[in-house]
Structure 1
Amino acid sequence: MSGLAGDPARGGDALVRLFHVSKSYLAGTWALRDVSLELRKGELAFLTGSSGAGKTTLMKLIFAAERPSEGQILILGRNVDRLRPAGIPALRRRIGVVFQDFKLLPRRTVEENVAVALDVVGVPHRQARGRVFSILKRVGLQHRRFHYPLSLSGGEQQRVAIARALVNEPEILLADEPTGNLDAALTLEIMDLIAGAAARGTTVLVATHDLSLVERFGRRMLRLDAGRLAADQRAAGVAP
């Protein structure tokens, strides 16, 4: 366990902070139970656990898609439970999300799909096009920018999803099983892109069932078991 003292006023450079968080959907049924943890700026952590352990629920809470039943969640210094509805979109714009099923718009080109993240924050069209081209070049898809999602391979679609999540330079990146449908070579390619975001200062949380990824990248592992944080293991040489 993380051993947090439970004082929301202390956090240093932690961008994500959970204090004794529980989430219940039905009376007596807990998706998460008494979870406390911190994620710091530029940290890459893996969230593991079997199906139904609570990984997706935890991601939704960090993204402010849901509210906790108990406890406190501070994201980028904001108490999620105290946010007014009008304040939630502003918080979410500082968070990038990569979904397992990509969630690309089939009738929009690759360029247009990535630009959506800039449209919602009012980035001027000319500036947006430059930023979209730059991020597509980073993920190796600049030559596909005028193509439609259905003409892309699974790995290419996932790279578009990552580009969309990163184009707005988010402070936090959440990736829910980003390599679940990819082969070994594409898995490493996608994870290298995600690790690169952490190297540039983004706080990254990757939900995965693939323990070989955790071993290969040698980063912090958070393991959920029946909604509880059963393990919080840091790689050797990684400061707490």
Structure 2
Amino acid sequence: MIKASVYIICKNEEKHIRRVLESVKDFDQVVIVDSGSTDDTLNIAKSYTDKIYHRDFTDYADQKEYAKNLCKNEWVLNLDADEELSSGLKNEIEQTIVNNDADGIEVLISSMYLGSFNKYGRFIKRIRFFKKDMGSYPKKLVHESINFNGRVKKSKNFIYDYGSNEISTHINKINSYSGLRAVEKFEKNKKSSFLKLAFLLPIAFFKSYFIRRNFLNGKKGLIVSINLAFYAFLKEAKLYEFEILKK
């Protein structure tokens, strides 16, 4: 067994959770924090671990901090229920534990979209494997990330993300996440900008399609870049909506 704990937060992930649990079945501990699944998620999870906890959802950062603190091992790995740990990254994790040549790994994340994983452009990078006592989640409603104090090395291998394969799923996430980001900005007394409303969408598209080289991914790269640009616009538009309707 790999001497590390895995923690996963989830709700209604019967479509994906078996895949991620299968990919980490040789880890010493797997902790699942569920926020009220009504499908077959928990029944599937029970065949892999008995460390299953219920906690009403607060926000992503708070939920993950709670799950992380339930882990018993020095080393922890965070995965989402719709992800999968690659065998190559698993080997990197094992070597890091043995060699103790870093306190955390900044991991490459490749997303499946319209049936295949992106091959070009810039990949998302997150610290996902680390010594538990060296990392924590600061308060954040969405796009949570670890505040980390330690030696970090970069992975050569991937976590695979299956959660946004379909356009409708991607759009639903964009709608949800843009609202949460607008709430964060509004609560910090940030104001919407006419210039951002006017120019953020084309600038965000240019950045995604050209600077991050999504044009190399063909039609899918074009669709992704347009969606991401709309996400950038929605965050600003919803902030303006809060200013008008929530005062």
- Between Structure 1 and Structure 2, the one with more helix by share is 2
Larger radius of gyration: 2
TM-score, normalised by the number of residues in structure 1: 0.25
TM-score, normalised by the number of residues in structure 2: 0.25
Q: Which has the higher contact order (CA 8 A, sep 6+)?
A: 1
